[in-house]
Chains A and B, each alone.
Chain A
Amino acid sequence: MILQVKNLKTYFLLNKENTVKAVDGINFLIEDEETVGLLGESGSGKTVTALSIMRLISHPGEIGKDSSIKFKGKEMLFLDEFQMQNIRGKEISLVFQDPLSSLNPVLSIRYQMQEVISSHLKVGKTLVANILRNTLHKLDFEYPDNILNSYPHKLSGGQRQRIAIAISLLLNPKLLILDEPTTSLDVTVAARILNLIKKLKKEFKFSILFITHDLAILKEIADRIIIMKDGKIIEEGSCKNIISNPTSDYTKELLAASFIG
């Protein structure tokens, strides 16, 4: 079991009267080499869940005192910022929805990739260069050096997202969190990337937390599905069961809406 989330509560205290309960007491776990889909519509709390796992929640957001997030058996909420920095990008990686806004426009691709390695490991320049090239190769980039010397605004949407995924895999994380990775891409590009993700998972053997509002995608890629609404988990089960035998009404609505059920 790679991740165990117990009673996760993430509240945003906007002002004295107004508290937004983005995540309101959820429990779930992710096993080794498992792909768990986190399904929900906007505002359901799925992104906040991902950010909470990464401890990237800042003022006015706060994670509940009696919540627990255990990674590889160790309680993460007790770790200090330095320890968390060690984990982020190395043991757990996060890929955002829109690679145009998640890549820094004024830094080269090479820089944005290499700094992940050099921030976590003491590695010589040649080894870094090799890691970069190899990883880019695995992400279907034929001419890695051209890409490395380039900047985000020069690449296509699909290329950018593949770079973002490459960055997340540089240090072989055990858990990869993907937050709507294909939502901002064209359908054919999205399909390519999904297949790429499946291939990479087989090779690198990581677990995936796949966040999306699109049930059709999860049908292709998820082992288990968790459905979230208004900060709570409505239903969860194996991919097959959820799709063929949904128990909650909300799930049934979602299925109907995506033309699967």
Chain B
Amino acid sequence: MLKYITKRLLLIIPVLIGISLLSFLIIHLSPGDPLSLKYGLNPEISPQAKEYMNKLYGLDKPIIVQYVEWFKRILTLDFGTSFIDDRNVLEKIKERLPATLILNILSLILIFVIAIPVGVVSAVKHRTVFDKITTFFLYLGFSMPSFWFALILIYIFGFKLNLFPISGISPWYLEFLSPMEKFLTFLKHLFLPLITLSLLGLTGLAKYTKSSMLEILNQEYILMAKAKGLSAKRVIYIHALKNALLPIITIIGFAIPGLISGSFIIETVFSWPGMGRLAYEAIMSYDYPTIMGIGIISTFLTLIGILISDILYAIVDPRIRV
């Protein structure tokens, strides 16, 4: 098993190299040099100042050297300072990361808690009315643009019913509230973005669980379990589910980029102060240090997620364990 983990860890290295290369290339795709993006063609900046900046960002050196510098800095998480407000990029990201993490982790939990049972029951009640209705709704969720769904929820719950706040994470009067009230208002602000992210996200997992279960239910060991006189509950939840969960565990890691992408749009629509929103602002302002920082951090998170799901899989599947 140790060998298995080491092998997975080693495979991460090429991915890291690739990502750093990719991000590096993207910046140099832009028509001007990175600095002119910041200062534009502002004539007030003297050539000497520009030259100084060039040296500071190492933009006068040959590309290979720039790349090596870049790679070194990635490893130490030094992303430089933001072009927008000259603050340290890592600091800015650290500020926004918790909001994104809370939203995404809670969303992930909700998705698992709802999607897996829905998938299991759909598979067991295959072809019944329940299944057909559920499948239809899953398809609806699958095919819906997330930002549209968000807007609909905002319209219904925010404007018409005025139940939930539609943007941000806290009201302007936050400091006047007691801790309990602070917590409650946080929950209220969390509600709409969380629902949007979760409801649409669970469709994929539910479908996947269902097809995984269906395949398992056709296996001979399920028939054998029934032939042993075991109750239907035991057959489904122990014999079938344990096997059906295996492929699901493997995709947890890869689900993270999807979640980040999803929360990206949701954060923008709901003005949720997370990393996704920061990324949007950075992209709109050509703030390339921040963009790169967020990209690398997201990739790190994904790689960690993949590693965790690989390890989980190795633990759960006795054919790989030991």
- A residues sitting closer than 8 Å to B (CB atoms) are 54, 56, 81, 84-90, 93-94, 96, 98, 101-108, 115-116, 119-120, 151, 153, 164, 167
Contact = CB atoms under 8 A, between A and B. Distances in A.
Nearest to A87: B229
Closest 10 CB pairs of A and B: A89-B229, A88-B229, A89-B228, A102-B224, A101-B220, A94-B227, A104-B221, A151-B318, A85-B229, A102-B220
Contacts of B317: 106
B319 A88 contact: no
6 contacts: A56-B226, A81-B232, A104-B225, A105-B319, A116-B228, A151-B319
Contact of A98 (B220, B226, B228, B318): B220
B230 A115 contact: yes
B195 interface: no
Contact of A167 (B228, B232, B246, B316): B228
A104 B235 CA distance: 11
Contacts of B230: 85, 89, 115-116, 119
Interface of B: 219-221, 223-232, 234, 238-239, 242-243, 246, 316-319
Contacts of B226: 56, 88
A230 B242 CA distance: 38
A106 B317 CA distance: 6
Contacts of B232: 81
Contacts of A88: 226-229
B227 A105 contact: no
B234 A93 contact: no
Contacts of B223: 56, 96, 102
Contacts of A93: 227-228
Contacts of A94: 224, 227
A89 B226 CA distance: 9
Contacts of B221: 101-105
A56 B228 CA distance: 11
Contacts of A106: 242-243, 246, 316-319
